[in-house]
Every structure is written in C-alpha cells, then in structure tokens.
Amino acid sequence: MPDVLTVGEAMLTLSPLGAPLANADRFAAGVAGAESNVAAHLAALGHSPIFASRVGADPIGQRIISDLASRGVDTSYIVVDPTRPTGVMFKDPSPEGSTVHYFRRGSAASAMDAGFLPAPALSEVTVVHLSGVTPALSPTCVRLVDHLFADAQDRGIRVSFDVNYRPALWSVSAAAAALLPLARRADICFVGRDEAEAVWGTERADDIRALISEPDLLIVKDGAVGATAFQKSRAPVFVAAPAVEVAEPVGAGDAFAAGFLSGVLRGRSTAESLQSGHDRAALALTTLADLPERERAA
C-alpha cells in the first residue's frame, strides 16, 4: 500500500558533459523535481510512494512517467495536459554550487489547482510531502498547496514540508512571506541554514527553531557540517554529515528528506533518521544526476 504522497512538478533535466553549459555539445538527460526526487528515493529505500503532478502530452512527459514508474513510484495520479508543455531545466554543474536554468513558465504542472487531485490519493498514505517550489509556480499552485495542507491534516495525515527556496523562481520578499506560514503549518519541516538566512535573516539553528517553533519535527540542514533535528519537549539532536567528494549538489536536499522520512516511517530514532538522510544525500552529491542511475528498478 502507498505510504507517502508527493505533489509537485517533475521536469526533464539536461546536464552538460565535459564542458560548461555555454560550450557543451553533449548532455546527460534525466528526470528531476523536488517532490519527484523524494518519491524516487523513497521507492529505492523500499517504500511505496505516489507522485502526483501534471505533464504535457509530449515525449518529455512520457519519459517522466516511464522513468518514475520504472523506479517503483506510483504514477497513476499524473495527469496529461493536452494544451501545456512539460517543463525543462538545464544545469551548469559545479561542486561549489550549480546554476540552474528553468524553462517551466506556463508548464502543465503550473496549472495544478486545488481540485486536480482526487480524494483517493489521500486515502491510504500516512505522510504528504510538499515543497516550497510548488507555490512559487503560479497562484493556482498556491491554492493547491494550501488545500493539501488543510485536507491532509483534517484527515490526520502528517504533512512534511521542505522550504526549498529557489531564488530563480521568485523574489526574496515574496518567498519570505509565503514560505514562513507553510513551514509553521507543517508537522515535519526541512530547511537549510543558508536558505533560512537568505530568506528570513536567521543565521543560527536555534534562531531558526525560535522562528519556526510549531512543527513537531524541524530539521535544520547545514551542508557539509551536518543536520539538527528539533523536537517538542526534547533536546535537539545533531548528526554530522559524512565527508564525500562532491560532483554536483543539486538534489541532495531532496535525497536527505527522503532518507529522513524513511527513518520516520520505519519508527527509527531521530539520530538514525538523520543518518539515513545523510547517507541518501551522499548518493546525490557524488553524481551529476539527481537520481542514481544504478537504482533504477528492474
């Protein structure tokens, strides 16, 4: 039975091979998107996730559905839109921090609204995972996220929310105003220390917890340093990140969220769940692809 529902936009991603993006003539193609990445990592960890979205009636949309299904993700709630295209992104990779160029304006996923997801999608899952990327896509996607928060929590389903601030999608001021209420509504919230500083000016993990005190679990990620989990009425738990040789960092946060959620779903301790997140993130950090190719389901 499905255990996690993720909702968001999946895109075709193209990464240049052997040269910067401006000079490349060879590319590696794959599927990426914050929520679809989480679903694929969860499937690789033995869970039964659903990914819900909209894609265009084009070969890119077909590839996304096929790729995610081959990894063990339930794609039955992906709607094919006959009038809008599937989004595409290009990476310009660097170990220090890749630049991402989006071609997703007016995409099929940007037309998601509160009514697009049928009620049965929520009937069996115990966690709904969302990210701050989706409300940045369009006003209708804002309504979608708000509806999913309310519907899931009315049903007693935990909502996991990754702040996932993307400066290419909206201004700091717009992101700050929209993301803070969502982070505070979540049962489980993930946020990078660097993005919290960029969006809200909060530099220390303790300050971030003071700002976002409502979630039962707040996980503050600090890159190569480690991650701290704050829980109500318990002392914070910190687990250091393992040392890895970074090929490209995009997608590591999604992998971490999947690893942590896997630990939570299996009833593991907070420290074990943090370690699971780090282990999963290390896989994403050491490859140019968001999802390790070797884990594709048979």
154 counts as catalytic: no
In eight-state DSSP terms, residue 117 is S
Confidence of residue 191 (pLDDT cuts 50, 70, 90): very high
Domain ranges of the chain: 4-295
Contact 262, 123 (CB under 8 A): no
Q: Which residues contact 234 (CB under 8 A, 6 or more apart)?
A: none
Looking at residue 297, its pLDDT comes to: 41
Confidence of residue 241 (pLDDT cuts 50, 70, 90): very high
Residue in this structure with the two tokens 């048979």, named with its chain if needed: 298
Confidence of residue 8 (pLDDT cuts 50, 70, 90): very high
Range 53-82 average pLDDT: 97
Range 76-100 average pLDDT: 87
Contact 103, 51 (CB under 8 A): no
Give the residues across from 240 on adjacent strands. Answer: 226
* 4-295: CATH, from 3.20.20.70, 3.30.200.20, 2.70.170.10, 3.40.1190.20: 3.40.1190.20
Please state, rounded to an integer, the average pLDDT across all residues of the chain: 92
Looking at residue 298, its pLDDT comes to: 32
pLDDT of 55 strictly over 90: yes
Q: Which residue has the higher pLDDT, 143 or 23?
A: 143
Range 129-133 average pLDDT: 98
Structure tokens at 185: 């509504």
Characterize 81-115 residue by residue with b for buried, 16 or more Cβ atoms within 10 angstroms of its Cβ, and e for exposed: beebbbbbbbbebeeeebeeeeebeebbbbbbebe
Confidence of residue 293 (pLDDT cuts 50, 70, 90): low
Q: Which helix (H) or strand (E) holds 27?
A: strand 27-32
Measured N-to-C along each axis, helices 34-44 and 252-265 cross at an angle, to the nearest 10 degrees, of 50
pLDDT of 95 strictly over 70: no
pLDDT of 249 strictly over 90: no
Measured in whole angstroms, the distance separating CA 163 from the mean position of its chain's CA atoms is 9
Q: 275 in helix, strand or coil? A: helix
Looking at residue 198, its pLDDT comes to: 97
In eight-state DSSP terms, residue 243 is P
Order across the sheet with 158-162: list the strands. 78-81, 49-56, 4-7, 127-131, 158-162, 188-192, 217-222, 226-231, 237-240
Q: Which residue has the higher pLDDT, 292 or 218?
A: 218
> Could you tell me how many residues make up the chain?
298
Range 80-94 average pLDDT: 91
Highest mean pLDDT among 114-128, 203-217, 237-251: 203-217
Characterize 44-70 residue by residue with b for buried, 16 or more Cβ atoms within 10 angstroms of its Cβ, and e for exposed: bbebbbbbbbbbbebebbebbbebbbe
pLDDT of 248 strictly over 90: no
Percent of the chain with pLDDT over 90: 78
Q: Is the dihedral of CA 8, 265, 241, 293 positive or negative?
A: negative
CA distance 58 to 294: 26
Question: Given its phi and psi angles, is residue 92 left (phi above 0), alpha (psi -120 to 50 degrees) or beta?
Answer: beta
Looking at residue 100, its pLDDT comes to: 85
- Residue type (1 letter), 275: Q
pLDDT of 206 strictly over 90: yes
Q: Which residues contact 229 (CB under 8 A, 6 or more apart)?
A: 217, 218, 219, 220, 236, 237, 238, 270, 273, 274
Confidence of residue 194 (pLDDT cuts 50, 70, 90): very high
pLDDT of 154 strictly over 80: yes
Active-site hit among 67, 74, 81, 254: 254
Structure tokens at 49: 């996730």
Range 224-236 average pLDDT: 95
Q: Which residue has the higher pLDDT, 17 or 272?
A: 272
Looking at residue 238, its pLDDT comes to: 98
